[in-house]
Amino acid sequence: MGCASSIHISDRVVYHSGKESEDSHSPQQTNTTQHQGNPASGIPLKAPNCKTTLTEVQFGPMKLFKDPLQVLLVFAKEDSQSNGFCWACEKANFRCSIARTPEAALECFLEKHHDLVIIDHRHSRHFDAEALCRSIRAVNSSENTVIVAVVKRPDREEASVMPLINAGFNRRYVENANMMACYNELLQLEHGEVRAQFKLRASNAIFTALEQSQEAIEITSEDQIIQYVNPAYESIMGYQQGELIGKEIIEVPKSEKNKPDLLETINSCIRKGKEWQGIYYAKKKNGDSIQQNVKITPVIGQGGKIRHYVSINRPLNDNNKSDKSSERVQAESQTDMQSSKHKDRRKGSLDVRSTTSRGSDGSSQRRHSSMARIHSMTIEAPITKVINIINAAQESSPMPVAEALDRVLEILRTTELYSPQLGTKDEDPHTNDLVGGLMTDGLRRLSGNEYIFSTKQPHHLPSHLITPLSLNDIPPRIALTMENEDSWDFDVFNLETATMKRPLTYLGLKIFSRFGVCEFLNCPEATLRSWLQVIEANYHSSNSYHNSSHAADVLHATAYFLCKERVKQSLDPIDEVAALIAATVHDVDHPGRTNSFLCNAGSELAILYNDTAVLESHHAALAFQITTKDDKCNIFKNMERNEYRTLRQAIIDMVLATEMTKHFEHVNKFVNSINKPLAALEESGGTEDEESVKSVLTTPENRILVKRMLIKCADISNPCRPLELCIEWAGRISEEYFAQTDEEKRQGLPVVMPVFDRNTCSIPKSQISFIDYFITDMFDAWDAFADLPNLMQHLDNNFKYWKGLDERKLHSLRPPPE
C-alpha cells in the first residue's frame, strides 16, 4: 500500500497526517478521504516515503536535528490552491493540518506550534487574514514560525507588502495552484526562512547556557559597544544589564592596577583576529578592583570581518579553586578507570560486590578501605583544613605541645565552624538548583507577593481513626507485607497499598514493639496506637513525596541503623526511643513545598520562625503540641520530668538536623570527631583498644553527632534503596518539585529550582547531582562507621542506572520499552 495522504475532515480542522489508511471511503460515508493524484493539475503524485526522518542542520559547532516540518494551511474552503499546497506537503513528507476558521487555526497552532503557517489572504469575506496573523504572533511560541500570505494575482499595479509585514507575515505567495509551484515554494521556505528560524530557535539554548554560566561573560560589537552581559557578570561586577548595554567599553571605569600599555596590547591583538588571554584587573561598580583571568575571542562574521568580541572573565581566586578541583577530578577519573569500566564522578567509591557478607577477611579489608577513604575525603570546609594541619603538626611536636593541640582540637570539634566552601564541587545547573532550593532560606523575595500558608487548620484525630487497632489484630495481608521489616530491602510501597496509605501506624506499631518503646515510656499500647494514628493523620496524603509513606520509610531506615553494632555501642535506650519518635514525626504537616518557597511566599510559618529552619521547627513544635494536648495520645504523660526534658531535647535536635542548610556541618563534625579518631585507633596497632573506642563513641557530644547523622542518612536514604524503590522515590520527589515550580510561576514567586520544570527536567541528571553533592560523602562516612555494604552496593548500582539513562540523553525515570 502506498503512503497516501489521509485528511480528517471536521467542522473546523482538517488533519493531513501522511499515515497509511486501510480503507477508502467517500467523504459522505465517513470523515476520511484519500487523494491519489493532484486535483489541481492532474499530475500524478508519487507517494512519499512514510518513514519519518530527521534533517541534520549544522549551526556553527552545533549539530541540530529537525523533525519533518509542521505546516498549517488556513483556507476557508477547499479549492485548487489549498489542494495544491496539501499535495505539495505530502510530496515533501511534511506534516500538515488544515483549518477552516480563524478560531480553529489558533486552536490548532496552540496545540502543535507549527513551523510554517500558510494563510489564504485572497477572500476577505471569509475571514480577516491579517487579524489572524496578528493573533498567532501574539502567542509566544510563534516567534520562530514562518507565516505566508497567499494573495491574489494583481490585476494592474503591484501592491506594497508593508501591510502584510506589519501584520506579522514573513512573505507572500501569489496564487498559483500548480502542484510543482506549491512544492517548489515549500522547498524554498524550508531551506530559507524556516531553516533560519530553526537556527535562531537553537540559539535560545546557547543564551540559556550563557545565562547559567558561572563565569562572567561580556559580548561587544566590532566597535566595542557592549551588547550583552550575563547574570554572573552582573553579580561579580555589581552592575545591572541596563547600566552597560549600549555603552562603549571605554565608558566603563578601568582599574588603575593594570600596566599602562595593557589595554593597547589587548586591542592590538584582538583586532588582528587573535585570541587574547591573561590576567586583568577590572573595576567593580563600587570602585573595588578584582583580579580576573580573562579570555577575549574575536568572532568572525559576515564578509569575513570581526563582528563581535566575546570576553570570558573568571575571578582569579575562583579560578585557582576550579583548577585544583579540576586536577582532583582528573586524578579521580584515572583511579576510577583503573578500578572499573564504569566512569563516573563519584570519588573513588568502594566496590563492595565481593564483600556483601561480614566475613572476617572481606570485612577487615573493606573497613581499612573505608578508613583510608575517610582520610582522603575532600569536604573542604576551612575548619577541616585547620584540623588536618594541627593533626600533622602533632606528629612532630614535643609532648606538651601535642597535648595542647589535643585541647585545641577538642574545642574546634565542639564549635559551629563547619560551614563548607560549596564552590569546590563541580557545578552544574541541577546541583546549583538543589543547593539553592534545599540549603537556603529563600530570601530572594519579590515585593508584593505573599502566599499565605495557613497553619490554623485543626490538628485532630479524624473520626474514622478513633478506634485504635491492636498489634494482635493486624489483618493477615498487612502482617504479611511487614514480615521482612527488619531487612533493608523491605518494600514500604507494598505496605502503603495494603494499608490504604496508612503505613506509618502499622509499621510504627511493629517497630516500636520490637524496641520496647511502650515499656520505656511507661505508656499503655492503646496510647501509642492513638498517638501513631494522630501523627499519621497530620501528614498530607496529597503530597506525592512528603507523606506518611516517607515517614514510614525513614522510621524503617532508623530502626535498621539502630541495630548496627557500632550504633548500639554508642547510644543508650533513651537515644533509641528519641530516634524512633523523631523519625516518625520529622515531616509531620509538611505542605509539600520547600523552606525557600515558604520564605519567598511570606507564609505564616516563615514569619513565625523568622525564615530560619521553618519547616523543621514546625514539625518538631507541632509534634509536641498534638501529643501533649490530649491524654489519649500523650505517650510522655507518665515520664519523670527530667527524663522527659532529656528525651524532648533529643527529639527536637534530631528533627532540626534534617534541615539541609547545615548538612555539611553535620557531616564534617561526624567525620572529624568520630570517623577519623576511630580510624586512627584502628591503624595505630591493628587492634582496637576497647576503652579508647568506647570513649570516642559514648561522649555526650559524639552521641549527639551519631543521632544527627543517623536520622539524616535515614531521611535521604532513597538512593541507597533497591533500584525499584529508588526509582519510585525519585519520581515522587520530582513530581513534588515540579508542582512547586508550577505554583511559583502561577504566584509570580522566584523559581528556586528552575531545572525542576516538568517540561524540560532531566530526572537522571537531578539524581546524579543529588548523589554526587549530598549522598556520596555522607554515606561513605556512615558506612565507615556502621558497616553497610548492602547500602553502598545499591548506591553504586543506582548511580550507574541514572548515569546510563543520562548518557542516552533520556530525561525519564525509565528507558523506553524495547
Which is the catalytic residue, given 114, 121, 430, 546?
Answer: 546
Q: Which three cell numbers stand for residue 269?
A: 591583538
Which residues are documented as binding site for AMP?
Answer: 546-550, 587, 715, 767
**3-class state of residue 816 by DSSP:** coil
Q: How far apart are CA 678 and CA 694, in angstroms?
A: 10
Are 639 and 522 spatial neighbours (Cβ–Cβ below 8 Å)?
A: yes
For residue 222, count other CB atoms closer than 10 A to its CB.
Answer: 14
As given in the structure block, the three cell numbers for residue 289 are: 578592583
Q: Is 114 a catalytic residue?
A: no
Q: List, as one string, the DSSP characters of 321-352.
A: HHHHHHHHHHHHHHHHHHH-S---SSSS----
User: Which DSSP helix (H) or strand (E) runs through 378?
Assistant: none
Q: What gap in Å lies between CA 392 and CA 385, rounded to an integer? A: 11
C-alpha cell read off for 63: 549539530
Eight-class DSSP state of 34:
E
Measuring CA to CA, which residue among 732, 266, 679 is closest to residue 493? 732
Angle at CA of residue 563, ends 557 and 568, nearest 5°: 125
Cell triple for 765: 541528571
Please provide the DSSP assignment of 437-506 as one string: HHSS----PPTT--------S-----GGG-SPPPGGG--HHHHHHTTTTTSTT--HHHHHHHTTS-HHHH
List % helix, strand, coil for the chain (3-state, nearest 5). Answer: 55, 10, 35
Helix (H) / strand (E) element for 92: namely: helix 80-92
- Report the distance separating Cα 683 and Cα 114, nearest Å: 68
CB distance 309 to 272 below 8 Å? no
Is-contact 778 667, C-beta < 8 A? yes
Name, in order, each residue with C-beta under 8 angstroms of 19's C-beta and a sequence gap of 6 or more.
Answer: 3, 6, 50
CB atoms within 10 A of CB 514: 13
Which residue shows C-alpha cell 514546625? 618
Answer for the pair 468, 526: CB distance below 8 angstroms, yes or no.
Answer: yes
| C-beta separation of 612 from 596 below 8 A | no
DSSP 719: G
Distance from the Cα of residue 54 to its chain's centroid = 29
Cβ–Cβ < 8 Å for 573, 645: no
Q: Which string of DSSP letters, residue by residue, matches 666-689?
A: HHHHHIIIIIHHHHHHHHHHSS--
3-state secondary structure of 750: coil
Q: How far apart are CA 432 and CA 427, in angstroms?
A: 7
DSSP string, 394-433: HHTS-HHHHHHHHHHHHHHTTSS-----GGGS---HHHHH
- H-helix segments, 629-722: 641-657, 663-670, 676-685, 690-698, 700-715
DSSP three-state, residue 66: strand
Q: How far apart are CA 480 and CA 660, in angstroms?
A: 36
Distance CA 625, CA 622 (A): 5
- Selection from 313, 318, 317, 272 nearest residue 296 by Cα: 313
757 bridge partner residues? none
Q: How far apart are CA 558 and CA 580, in angstroms?
A: 7
Which residues are designated catalytic?
546
